[in-house]
């Protein structure tokens, strides 16, 4: 990749060690001759990433999710440095960032493009999500009745606590907790996973790239909540369906040259395909 000459920093100062790490990396960037700008307020200002070669996000996955829409719109690669817990998206550790930052600035990284979801709930109500779109009742204890169409074809009706529409990137988030599948991040699909459905035949459904999904509220006395990446809510206009599709924009995510998705899954989720005996043999 070309060297980074213009670098933005987004720092979650609520995360332990984040301000100190940011100061170290900003100093390294300036020493290398890169111009630097930084912000620690959320949401980040509109246009903050315009003209930048990359954006260094220091925090947790939630911090990165909060920057993803702006980065996708401006096509600015995100370098995610983890100061949170799991760190599925912020894949660089603090030590890796300190040790490898000069080589990152020189362009020694790869970029993967992550699918995002576009969601509309009525006129003027639309947003992007990197992980997932959640549809549920505004009141947590109430069950919803939802009717799902794919390209004008009825899929089925759900009587459940809600529906999760997930990208491959988000498959390791809420979708996984609800029993949904793990999906490789390079797959161009959307997963739909019901939450606690009133049926014994519950299964996730995988939709192809290009599908246009519409979800209708079948309970006139209830109001839906649509949450984008668990951070932002869309108001559902009366009688309007929730429309979901793959977004035209994809998020450019900077990763190490030796990055392995399955290594991250094994490490972060302690995931294994079999039982390992004390001798180390499967």
Cα–Cα dist 139/102, whole Å: 49
- Token code pair at residue 219: 């309970």
Tell me which of 61, 132, 137, 161 is the catalytic residue. Answer: 61
Coil, helix or strand at residue 81: strand
CB 249 within 8 A of CB 124: no
Who's near 132: CB < 8 A, 6+ residues apart? 117, 164, 165, 166, 167, 170, 173, 174, 175, 229, 230
- Alpha carbon separation from 173 to 51, 131, 281 (Å, rounded): 31, 7, 30
Catalytic (active site) residue 61? yes
Who's near 19: CB < 8 A, 6+ residues apart? 11, 13, 40
Enzyme catalytic residues: 61
């Amino acid at each position: 990749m070309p060297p980074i000459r213009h670098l933005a920093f987004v720092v979650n100062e609520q995360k332990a060690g984040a301000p100190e790490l940011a100061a170290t990396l900003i100093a390294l960037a300036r020493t290398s001759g890169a111009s630097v700008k930084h912000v620690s307020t959320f949401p980040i200002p509109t246009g903050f990433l315009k003209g930048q070669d990359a954006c260094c996000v220091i925090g947790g996955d939630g911090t990165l999710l909060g920057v993803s829409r702006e980065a996708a719109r401006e096509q600015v690669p995100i370098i995610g440095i983890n100061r949170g817990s799991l760190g599925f998206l912020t894949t660089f550790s603090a030590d890796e960032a300190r040790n490898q930052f000069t080589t990152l600035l020189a362009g020694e990284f790869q970029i993967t493009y992550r699918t995002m979801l576009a969601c509309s709930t009525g006129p003027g109500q639309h947003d992007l999500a990197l992980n997932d779109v959640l549809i549920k009742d505004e009141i947590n204890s109430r069950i919803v009745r939802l009717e799902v169409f794919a390209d004008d074809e009825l899929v089925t009706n759900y009587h459940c606590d809600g529906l999760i529409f997930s990208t491959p990137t988000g498959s390791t988030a809420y979708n996984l907790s609800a029993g949904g599948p793990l999906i490789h991040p390079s797959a161009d699909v959307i997963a739909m996973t019901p939450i606690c459905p009133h049926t014994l035949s519950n299964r996730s459904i995988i939709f192809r790239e290009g599908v246009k999904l519409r979800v209708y509220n079948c309970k006139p006395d209830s109001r839906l909540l649509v949450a984008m990446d668990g951070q932002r809510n869309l108001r559902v206009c009366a009688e309007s369906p929730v429309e979901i599709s793959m977004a035209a924009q994809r998020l450019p995510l900077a990763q190490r040259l030796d990055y392995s998705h399955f290594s991250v899954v094994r490490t972060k989720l302690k995931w294994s395909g079999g039982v390992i005996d004390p001798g180390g043999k499967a």
